[in-house]
Amino acid sequence: MEKFTTLTGIAAPMPLVNIDTDMIIPKQFLKTIKRTGLGVHLFDEMRYTPEGAEVPDFVLNQPAYREARILIAGDNFGCGSSREHAPWALMDFGIRCVISTSFADIFYNNCFKNGILPVILPPDAVEQLMDDAEKGANARITVDLEAQTVTAADGTVFEFDIDPFKKHCLINGLDDIGLTLEKVSKIDSFEATARARFPWA
């Protein structure tokens, strides 16, 4: 998993509340078990017409936000079903951080397992960052995971809380498999002992 330390980039404003996982990646794209190739379908039903043409007014179709790395979202982002394809699609598009006042629990935890940092901030802070994001590519936001800060385009700094274990995993690029491999020497030792004690097993 790609490490997350400091991210400076364009933030796309998406002030809608209750954006669910079916809006993030519709159900017809859940057939794959690959984490790549889903970015093109991110927010598919809002991003494209039924005929497949881009909707010009949708934020990620606008030139200023095609390279967005951060998403500023409304309340309760990622609600709905627990599909892990939602963070996969965000990551594949290039979104590494989502900032909101609240997240659905399962989506929130899935983000950490896939290299995305979900940041919870108070409503007034999110409102200011949303205003910043609406300025387009000229307003870049910096997210510093080590310092646990978000710095707005005008230099205003907002602090956020994060579980220390989840922070450790993101900074070191550790998903569930990576965490297991950190214990590989102990696992090997246990397996060697077990083979010696139970050679018939």
Break the chain into its structural domains and give their ranges: 6-173
- pLDDT tens for each residue of 77-88: 999 988 899 999
- pLDDT tens for each residue of 149-201: 999 999 999 999 999 999 999 999 987 666 665 566 776 676 766 677 877 76
What is the phi/psi pair of residue 194, to 5°?
-65, -40
Q: To which CATH superfamily is domain 6-173 assigned?
A: Aconitase, domain 4 (3.20.19.10)
Which residue do the tokens 């400076």 mark? 8
- pLDDT tens for each residue of 22-59: 999 999 888 887 778 899 999 999 999 999 999 999 99
Strand 149-151: give its sheet, edge to edge: 117-120, 97-100, 70-73, 6-14, 140-144, 149-151, 157-159
Which residue do the tokens 């070191």 mark? 172
The answer to whether residue 120 scores a pLDDT higher than 80 is yes
The confidence band for 144, taking pLDDT boundaries of 50, 70 and 90, is very high
Give the global pTM: 0.88
Strands 157-159 and 97-100: unpaired
Q: What pLDDT was estimated at residue 54? A: 96
* Residue type at 47 in one-letter notation: R
When the pLDDT of each residue in the chain is averaged and rounded to a whole number, the result is: 91
